[in-house]
Amino acid sequence: MLADVEANEEALRVQRRELEDHLLVAPAANWQEAAAKARYLLTLFAISPTAQDHRRQQLIAAVLADFTRLSGDTA
């Protein structure tokens, strides 16, 4: 079971690297794509020790909600 977990974690690391490589080289074609990049970075920041402050968590949630509202997404 431990070997499966480790394999899954490695696969996730590879996928994350591929996603970040894509986000880095592909310029956003519109505001929705730019917001998606920012959403990804904010999500990563949200789990960092620096972002654990309650006010920062609220700010991150508010910005993500703004992105969703302004892009017309329902999720």
Angle between helices 2-25 and 31-46 (to 10 degrees): 140
CA distance 10 to 16: 10
- Domain positions in the chain are 2-71
What is the reported pTM?
A: 0.76
Indicate the pLDDT class of residue 74, thresholds 50, 70 and 90: low
pLDDT, tens only, 18-68? 999 999 999 999 998 999 999 999 999 999 999 999 999 999 999 999 998
Alpha-carbon separation of residue 52 from 40, 42, 57, 71 (angstroms): 17, 12, 6, 27
Question: 75 pLDDT exceeds 70?
Answer: no
Block residue for tokens 């996603």: 19
Helices (H), 26-51: 31-46
Question: 5 pLDDT exceeds 60?
Answer: yes
